[in-house]
Chains A and B, each alone.
Chain A
């Protein structure tokens, strides 16, 4: 297909939304089209079932988990953290994004390793950088940082600069 515009994507977005609403009803909180991506926000309780349905449905066939990433918006009380999944359908060349938001004091979300094996390391990375706990993950430990650190570096409150330097002018380096 040619350049993805809202006109091209809308029919596919509507198909996916119709199928999701038919099977999951009120688990789907919202949907939108961001540039060339349909984005769906679902509830945490249903996220595993929705992803399983999207993967196994013969018409939708989202067999490829392209990427997943944690989100941190501290200005949304009750929905500070979130997870974003990008699913790709190669035969139809069609991608969607799925988001789910969770509160900061209850950072648990089911793992999708049983659906896509690639999620194993991607979830370890999100645990390493944000502290999101993936229930029933086979091996949830840090992957990129050193094993003995106690903080989660990519959270918004974590400072950018290395705190052990004392030879830089603090006022200019945000310390």
Chain B
């Protein structure tokens, strides 16, 4: 009796739709670039408070974020793709955060982790910035105080879906330029 070969239910590194033949594989450039980018996002952990500690736990071995390609964290914005803002941002810190965002090269994404970065959290007061989307555009928000590591991974997977499906011309489009003008960047 033949044993059924057990196949994994997970699809890791699934190749995009394309024309396949002996020795060649043809697909659209966007899909190939999207797949490459999404599996090698280099985050910049802008960790300010408790969410930063929770992120450290997520990067550690138990809830490893490195499996999704984010093994190499970069503290230099010039070399990072994803700005992860984790923690309370004071109004005094706002210009610093904006400068870090402006120093990142296109294509860049922003992930706001936790209640404080998304909306000021429980700190509705004179000194706390009520959400980083008042100064920089945000792609994914992760609510929670702090969010569990599983939620952080889910947020990163959402970023991966955005990265994979982004058009190569998006950063030159008028809509994107209007968004940057709205925030006073460039």
Q: Using a CB–CB distance below 8 Å, which chain A residues touch chain B? A: 144-146, 151, 153, 158, 160-162, 164-165, 168, 173
Report B94-124 residues with CB < 8 Å from chain A CB.
120, 124
Partner of B91, one of A146, A165, A168: A146
Cα-based distance from A5 to B45 in the complex (angstroms):
50
Kindly list chain A residues whose C-beta atoms are within 8 Å of the C-beta of B128.
Answer: 162
Cα-based distance from A160 to B128 in the complex (angstroms):
11
The majority secondary structure among interface residues of chain A is loop
Kindly list chain A residues whose C-beta atoms are within 8 Å of the C-beta of B181.
Answer: none
The majority secondary structure among interface residues of chain B is loop
B160 to chain A, nearest CB (A): 30
Find out whether the CB atom of B92 lies under 8 angstroms from the CB atom of A168. no
By beta carbon, the residue of chain B nearest A163 is: B126
Q: Does B70 sit within 8 A of A, measured CB to CB? A: no
A152 to chain B, nearest CB (A): 10
A153 to chain B, nearest CB (A): 5
Partner of A153, one of B92, B120, B127, B130: B127
Q: Does B62 sit within 8 A of A, measured CB to CB? A: no
Q: Does B125 sit within 8 A of A, measured CB to CB? A: yes
Kindly list chain B residues whose C-beta atoms are within 8 Å of the C-beta of A160.
Answer: 124-125
Cα-based distance from A165 to B125 in the complex (angstroms):
10
Q: Using a CB–CB distance below 8 Å, which chain B residues touch chain A? A: 91-92, 120, 124-128, 130
3 interchain residue pairs of minimum CB distance: A161-B124, A146-B92, A153-B126
B124 to chain A, nearest CB (A): 5
Task: With A145-B92, A146-B91, A146-B92 as known contacts, state yes or no: A165 contacts B126, CB within 8 Å.
Answer: no
B179 to chain A, nearest CB (A): 21
Find out whether the CB atom of B124 lies under 8 angstroms from the CB atom of A173. yes
Find out whether the CB atom of B125 lies under 8 angstroms from the CB atom of A162. yes
Cα-based distance from A146 to B124 in the complex (angstroms):
17
**A145, A146, A164, A168 pick with most chain B CB within 10 angstroms:** A146
Q: Known pairs A145-B92, A162-B128, A164-B130. 16 more at Cβ < 8 A?
A: A144-B92, A145-B126, A145-B127, A146-B91, A146-B92, A151-B126, A153-B126, A153-B127, A161-B125, A162-B120, A162-B130, A165-B120, A165-B124, A165-B130, A168-B124, A173-B124
A-B contact pairs, 11 of them (CB 8 A): A145-B127, A146-B92, A153-B126, A158-B126, A161-B124, A161-B125, A162-B124, A162-B125, A165-B124, A168-B124, A173-B124
A155 to chain B, nearest CB (A): 11
By beta carbon, the residue of chain A nearest B92 is: A146
By beta carbon, the residue of chain A nearest B127 is: A145
Kindly list chain B residues whose C-beta atoms are within 8 Å of the C-beta of A153.
Answer: 126-127
By beta carbon, the residue of chain B nearest A151 is: B126
